[in-house]
Amino acid sequence: MSYKPDEGTLIAYLYGELEGSAKERVERYLADSEEARRELEALKEVRGIMGLVRDKEVIAPPLVIDSRARFFNLSSPLVRAVLAIAASLVILMVAGKLTGVQISASENEIRLTFGQPRSSAPDATPSLGVADVHDIIDARLADNNAALQSEWRKSQEAFANTMRETLKESSSRIDQLVMKAASASEKQISAYVSTLQAENLRMIKDHYKMTSEEQKQQLEQLLVDFAKYLQQQREDDLMILQARLNDLQQNTDMYRQETEQILASLISNASVPVIRN
């Protein structure tokens, strides 16, 4: 068998999308080929198994689509900018109307006024000359100076008077105070000194009494100690003397024994006649 359908043809056959002669050829091929039949069966089985996957139920959410093209899009930045400028202009105009702002430009000035502009009428009185002004100023200055000087003199006098009085008063008061203070302090000092002397005296007496007693006690103690010491010394000396005497005794005893022995030996030697030469 020379004809062998390719995968695409086989798949098309499997899904029934093959017609006419192509379909017949595949069918003839399948009838001949056991292997091809088995392969197709396997694919069919896969399809069957995969077909077990069921669709999930789902509810379509409502879709509201506004298909009208928007000529005037409020959210576009340009439109928003223009609207913002227009709104601020309107606000400015309303505010201007309410406050009655008037702007007028004439010759060399621009005038910004709130409410009706006041027409400033020029003064009708004749103006003063420079000399007049000088005179007036001078006269006023002279008056002022005179008044100031008299005032100053008066106040100076008054000040001097009050100063004098206060000085007098204060000096007398200070004298009194000093006198009082001096007399008071003399008495106090004498009293203080006398109390101090009495206290000192008492303290010194006490001190002497205490120290003499202490000295007496110490002296007594010293005497007792010395006596004790002497006694001890004497006892020690006596003991030494005793020991010496004992030694002497022992020594004399020893000497005596020795002499006795010597005597005895001499005696024994003398009893035996010795003939020499």
Partner 1 sequence: MHAETLQDIAMMHSDALLQRAAQGDQNAQGKLVQLWYKRIYNFGFKFFLDHDLAMEVAQKTFISMCRNLPSLQDLGKFKAWLYKIAMNYCREEIRRRQTNRSTPFDRVWNVESEQSPRWEMSRNRHDDPDRQFQRNEVADILHAALMAINEDQRAVVIMKEYEGLKFREIAEVLNISENTVKSRMYYGLESLKRILEKQNINKDTINYEL
Q: Which residues bind partner 1 (CB under 8 A)?
A: 6-12, 15, 17, 42-43, 45-58, 60-63, 65, 67
**CB-wise, 14 or 101, nearer to partner 1?**
14
CB of 84 to partner 1, least distance (A): 31
CB of 71 to partner 1, least distance (A): 17
**CB-wise, 20 or 62, nearer to partner 1?**
62
**CB-wise, 42 or 87, nearer to partner 1?**
42
Place of tokens 């010759």: 107
CB of 77 to partner 1, least distance (A): 24
**CB-wise, 19 or 123, nearer to partner 1?**
19
**CB-wise, 52 or 274, nearer to partner 1?**
52
CA distance 152 to 138: 20
CB of 54 to partner 1, least distance (A): 7
CB of 74 to partner 1, least distance (A): 21
**CB-wise, 64 or 74, nearer to partner 1?**
64
Q: What share of the chain is helix, strand, coil (3-state, %, to 5)?
A: 75, 5, 20
Residue 160: count of CB within 10 angstroms of its CB? 10
HSE-up of residue 79 (Cα within 13 Å, Cβ side) = 7
Structure tokens at 215: 């000295």
Measured in degrees and rounded to the nearest 5, phi and psi for residue 6 equal -80, 175
CA distance 64 to 150: 103
CA distance 3 to 221: 155
**Which run of H or E residues covers position 101?**
strand 101-106
For residue 71, give the DSSP letter: S
Q: Partners of 106 in the beta sheet?
A: 109
CB of 79 to partner 1, least distance (A): 23
CA distance 178 to 184: 10
Q: Give the CA distances from residue 273 to residues 261, 264, 267, 269, 270, in Å, rounded to whole numbers and listed in that order.
A: 20, 16, 11, 8, 7
For residue 102, give the DSSP letter: E
CB of 70 to partner 1, least distance (A): 13
**CB-wise, 65 or 121, nearer to partner 1?**
65
Kindly calculate the radius of gyration of the chain based on its CA atoms and give it in whole angstroms.
78
CB of 16 to partner 1, least distance (A): 10
**CB-wise, 50 or 124, nearer to partner 1?**
50
